[in-house]
Amino acid sequence: MVERCDVLFENALLFDGTGSPPARCDVAVSGERIAAVLPKGETKGWRAEQNVDCSGLALAPGFIDAHTHDDRIVIDAPDMLPKISQGVTTVVAGNCGISLAPVTFDDDPPPPMNLLGGKEAYAFPAFADYAASLRRTPPAVNVAALVGHSALRLRTMADIRSKADRTEIAAMLGHVDEAMSNGAAGFSTGLFYPTNAAADRDEVSQIASRFAQHGGVYATHMRDEFDKVLDSIDETLKTASDAKIPVVVSHHKCAGPGNWGRTQQTLPVLETAAAKQPVNLDVYPYTAGSTNLRADLVSADYRIQITWSKPHPEATGRDLADIAKEWGCSLEEAARRLDPAGAIYFQMHEDDVRRVLSSRLAMIGSDGLPHDKHPHPRLWGTFPRVIGHYARDVGLFPIETAIHKMTGLTANVFRLKDRGLVKEGGCADLVLFDPQTIMDRATYESPLEPSAGIEQVYVNGCLSFQKGRGVIARRGRLVGGNSRA
Ligand SMILES: [Zn+2]
């Protein structure tokens, strides 16, 4: 009997996303799904429209970027080159309390909402409007969209400097129902940020609990990642447990030289809690973070590099210390003159980054900022860097573990049905890469360099990116939550 399929990957070194060691396999794809996964050569009777010789190459589930701010770039630049060129086939957007829907602005959006753009970017008063836009112009990658608490607060509250009152919370819950019934994947907070900071545990857990009723997940940029990081973890675990919702600690770090080494305290707390409640974390493979330039984050203790500045675009890519020296002023004064602006903060220790990456709770998330002029290199390099640098070259963990942290684990945590594993019946999101050469090339000096070693990327069964050709198709869709895929 002859079996037919659309694409047959032959003789691939298959990393299936479960974390198991790789095996030589053939993989058949029919339409949008994986039709068969068989030991090498057992597909001899299969007839395919297209055969892909995978000798010397590895095949894996498409990578899932657990932490992004891609809400707008999936609409404005739907080719999604920074991500698909890394092998990413799904992005989790709407992190850190910041989401494009459901909020609009009459004036410039306040920080950190301005990380996604100006008021013209915020054109989605309801989540359904955002979902419709993705359907009209599909991006090259799938999108799991969280709804940000700052977006909800700015939409419903008269004064965001206070805790939401009962009427305001009721209004937010209405938006939660609307978003979740139109395909949102869950909730995010950025309690560190001024637009979200006045929300206490009670406000957050009331809203999170409504997301939980709809099957949503909760990701949080915690109130403090510096001296009070343990208090913030305690708050996070209590909030999630009260709301009965799975929680993801965003871009886990212990920031500032005074806190270096403290992941030896934080990780055991999170790993112990994981026995009692669903908790995970995401992490990017770099010792620098990036967000708005803020006077309260300015310090002479670590390097600060400017990623954009509205009043001083010529400062882009330069170090704050050099600019301050040139201007003959303090770092704080220079930061004030550059504002509104973005910055990279070299505030973590390599040992902490490695400990967090190695945690069994850790998923890989780039946290890339796609609208920055001189972005943190994590935007273009995160996934190849984890595989090529940390797994293959440093030997921090096996490549199959690296892959699991960006596929099977992530799909499970964010409840992305039928994604994250190469298995029969699963969605055919796949990446073909060269395990010998895969590597990030973006640097702090030259951050827009595409990574090496990614050969082909398939999204929903369709060849969407090929080395040397670039983006070929855009077949992404809304995933997670109650979205139909
Ligand atoms: Zn964040």
Q: Does 225 lie in the same domain as 79? A: yes
User: How far is ligand 1, taken at its centre, from the CA of residue 194, in Å?
Assistant: 13
For residue 368, report the distance from its CA to the centre of ligand 1, in Å.
10
CA of 408 relative to ligand 1 center, distance in Å: 23
What is the distance between the alpha carbons of residues 459 and 480, in angstroms, rounded to a whole number? 15
Q: What is the pLDDT of residue 207?
A: 98
Please check whether residues 239 and 387 belong to one and the same domain: yes
- CATH number of the domain residue 56 falls in: 2.30.40.10
Same domain, 327 and 203: yes
Say how many Å lie between the CA of residue 96 and the centre of ligand 1: 4
360 Cβ contact partners less than 8 Å away, ≥ 6 residues apart: 271
- Ligand 1 centre to CA of 72 (Å) is 16
Q: pLDDT tens string for the chain (485 positions)?
A: 689 999 999 999 999 999 999 999 999 999 999 999 999 989 888 999 999 999 999 999 999 999 999 999 999 999 999 999 999 999 999 999 999 999 999 999 999 999 999 999 999 999 999 999 999 999 999 999 999 999 999 999 999 999 999 999 999 999 999 999 999 999 999 999 999 999 999 999 999 999 999 999 999 999 999 999 999 999 999 999 999 999 999 999 999 999 999 999 999 999 999 999 999 999 999 999 999 999 889 999 999 999 999 999 999 999 999 999 999 999 999 999 999 999 999 999 999 999 999 999 999 999 999 999 999 999 999 999 999 999 999 999 999 999 999 999 999 999 999 999 999 999 999 999 999 999 999 999 999 999 999 999 999 999 999 999 999 999 999 999 887 55
Q: Is 44 among the domain residues?
A: yes
Asked, for residue 238, whether it belongs to a domain, the answer is: yes
**Is residue 337 one of the residues assigned to a domain?**
yes
Same domain, 427 and 408: no
Domain containing 363 equals 63-413
What are the pLDDT digits (tens) for 182-216?
999 999 999 999 999 999 999 999 999 999 999 99
Residues 375 and 247 in one domain: yes
Q: Which H/E stretch holds residue 37?
A: strand 33-39
- In the reported structure, the alpha carbon of residue 219 is separated from the centroid of ligand 1 by a whole-number distance in angstroms of 10
| 78 CA from centroid of ligand 1 (Å) | 23
pTM over 0.95: yes
Which of 413, 438, 461 is the last residue in one of the domains? 413
Instruction: Please indicate, yes or no, whether residues 149 and 52 belong to a single structural domain of this protein.
Output: no
> For residue 277, how far is its CA from the centre of ligand 1 (angstroms)?
22
Instruction: Report the pLDDT value the prediction gives residue 33, as an integer from 0 to 100.
Output: 98
Residue 119 domain-assigned (yes or no) = yes
Rounded-to-integer distance, Cα 120 and Cα 108, Å: 9
Residue 290 belongs to some domain of the structure: yes
Ligand 1 geometric centre to CA of 112 (Å): 9
Supply the CATH number for residue 252's domain: 3.20.20.140
Long-range contacts of range 313-321, CB-CB < 8 Å, 24 or more positions apart?
Answer: 313/373, 315/341, 316/373, 316/374, 317/373, 317/374, 317/445, 320/293
Q: Which of 368, 384, 413 is the last residue of a domain?
A: 413
CA–centroid distance, 356 to ligand 1, in Å, is 16
Q: Report the DSSP beta bridge partners of residue 145.
A: 93
- 340 & 467 share domain: no
Length of the chain in terms of residues written: 485
Distance (angstroms) between ligand 1 centre and the Cα of 251 equals 7
Spacing, Cα 67 to ligand 1 middle (Å): 9
Q: What is the pLDDT of residue 45?
A: 87
DSSP letter string, 155-172: HH-S-TTS---HHHHHHH
Based on the fold, state whether residues 338 and 294 are members of the same structural domain. yes
Residues 325 and 429 in one domain: no
Domain count, the chain: 2
C-alpha 138 to ligand 1 mean position (Å): 26
- Calculate how far, in angstroms, residue 2's C-alpha sits from the geometric centre of ligand 1: 52
Å from CA of 252 to ligand 1 middle: 9
Task: Identify whether residues 230 and 347 lie together within a single domain.
Answer: yes
Which of 413, 433, 455 delimits the end of a domain? 413
DSSP string, 84-137: HTTTEEEEEES-TT--STTB--SSPPPTTGGGG-SGGG--BSSHHHHHHHHHHS
* 81 Cα to the center of ligand 1, angstroms: 22
The per-residue pLDDT for 483 is: 72
* Domain assignment present for 436: yes
| Residue 227 Cα to ligand 1 middle (Å) | 17
> How far is Cα 263 from Cα 282, in angstroms, rounded to an integer?
14
Q: Quick one: pLDDT at residue 344?
A: 98
In a domain, 478, yes or no: no
Are residues 230 and 134 part of one domain?
yes
Please tell me whether residues 376 and 442 are part of one structural domain. Answer: no
Return the pLDDT at 484. 58
Ligand 1: distance of its center to the CA of 426 in Å?
31
Question: What CA–CA distance (Å, rounded) separates 346 from 326?
Answer: 21
Question: Is residue 242 included in any domain, yes or no?
Answer: yes
